[in-house]
Amino acid sequence: MRRMNPTETEKNTDATNRKDAEDTARPTEAVAEPEATGGAAADRTAGPDASADAPAAPADEDGIEDAEDAEDAEDGGIPEEKPRESSGLLSAAAGVVATGLGVVGLSGSWVGQVAAERQTLLGQLESSQGGSVAEQISAVYGDAWHTTALVNGVFALLALIVGVTVLTRPGRPGWVRACAVAGAVLGGIGILASVSMYFDLILALPQGS
């Protein structure tokens, strides 16, 4: 039997120790792998439960508002306001007023009456100082008549202006337009009558001897 050298004995011992160390490490790694696999499986198993238990995210109201703002921006930035339709009350009142002014322009008013009486009083004061008959007639009667014609002419002119203004407004009811037409016609007739009376074209002043 061959006798081994001390060096060979040490080499055999080292090889044996390395082999035993490898055999010991292999089961440990084999055991570790199932644990790692089980941990991943546990994580996958716990995943749905965790997501199910998580509270639902609230609805994004800001997103809805942003979408509405975007729609408004596409339409022009500011929503268009519908034009307000006029009730026609002002036009109706103006038509009635035009008719009333036209009647006053033809028949006279207390304003014209007071102005005429004042002018008559001034004429009497002037005629008391003397003068011809024609001058006295003109001072006492003529000036008063002319003042009445002037006041009535102003009312008739207002009736004509208001009536024509109402007629120029489109989309008015028939009765409103009828009142406006009546006021304009009466105003026109009143203006003609006032001008004729003021310039003595009709019913001229009598001439005294």
* pLDDT, tens digit (0-9, with 9 covering 90-100), for 63-100: 555 555 555 545 554 545 554 545 578 999 999 999 99
Q: 184 and 97, same structural domain?
A: yes
- Do both 113 and 191 map to the same domain? yes
Confidence of residue 186 (pLDDT cuts 50, 70, 90): very high
Q: Count of domains in the chain?
A: 2
Structural domain contains residue 173: yes
Domain that holds residue 32: 1-46
52 pLDDT above the threshold of 50: no
How far apart are alpha carbons 50 and 143 in whole angstroms? 109
pLDDT at 182: 96
Residue 13 lies in a domain: yes
Q: HSE-up of 133 (CA within 13 Å, CB side)?
A: 5
Residue 62 lies in a domain: no
82 in a domain, yes or no?
no
